[in-house]
Amino acid sequence: MSINEQAVSTLYSVSSLTLDIPALGLHLPVMDVLFTILVHYSYRSALGESHAYIGWGQGLVATLFMASGGGCTVSLIRGETFGLLQSNLTWAIHCFIYWAMFSNSFIYRCTQSLFEMPLGEHLFTLSDAVLRTSAMVQYGIEGVTANPGLGAGKSVAKIICGTLAGCGGGLWIGKITDIQMKRRIKY
């Protein structure tokens, strides 16, 4: 097995770690939960006290774009179904964490204390890095190779799709946040 194959195998192993909760019949994806907490915490922190002026639906959509905008952008370009629409669990995780983070300042302060711990922020950042890298490989390399209209030899398509998968949410959220802040200023 080559170093590249070992790296990809390790990446997929780490990104697919689950926490099994037999009583509820759930298999929570650990990296996804940590990443979701990071996204919602970062959004709430960036808004500061202005979070009270953002509607629940509007904020949830903004955080979903932050979390999955890259993969959805690549899917849109390639004419594929959004991965976000293929998982009810992803929606449940995002909705629950968004609700918890924005409805209760105690939860927000507890999360803030997690980020202030010596390795706390690094753990959440690691989840972000693992999932972004996984998205780059999945949407960039493997996704282009598996797409019948593109194929394995399309290096430029792999680079573009991989780059968008890794940073596309950030491209979208900048515009969404600008619109939200301009809307806030008008009132």
Greater pLDDT, 112 or 25: 112
CB-based contact 150:157 (threshold 8 Å): yes
Q: Say if residue 184's pLDDT is above 60.
A: no
What is the pLDDT, as a whole number, of residue 182? 65
Q: Say if residue 31's pLDDT is above 50.
A: yes
19/26 Cα distance (integer angstroms)? 8
97/111 Cα distance (integer angstroms)? 11
Q: What is the mean pLDDT of residues 110-138?
A: 89
What is the pLDDT, as a whole number, of residue 108? 94
How sure is the predictor about 12, in pLDDT bands with cuts at 50, 70 and 90? confident
Q: Say if residue 46's pLDDT is above 90.
A: no
Q: What is the mean pLDDT of residues 57-81?
A: 86
Q: What is the mean pLDDT of residues 21-35?
A: 89
Tell me which residue has tokens 């890298």: 133
What is the pLDDT, as a whole number, of residue 174? 65
What is the pLDDT, as a whole number, of residue 80? 85
Q: How does the average pLDDT of the chain come out, rounded? A: 85
What is the pLDDT, as a whole number, of residue 38? 93
Q: Say if residue 170's pLDDT is above 80.
A: no
Q: Say if residue 185's pLDDT is above 60.
A: no
Q: Which residues pair with 19 in a beta bridge?
A: 28
How sure is the predictor about 187, in pLDDT bands with cuts at 50, 70 and 90? very low
Helix or strand holding residue 183 (H, E):
helix 155-186
Helix or strand holding residue 40 (H, E):
helix 30-47
Radius of gyration of the chain measured on its C-alpha atoms:
18
Q: Say if residue 41's pLDDT is above 70.
A: yes
Greater pLDDT, 179 or 164: 164
What is the pLDDT, as a whole number, of residue 14? 82
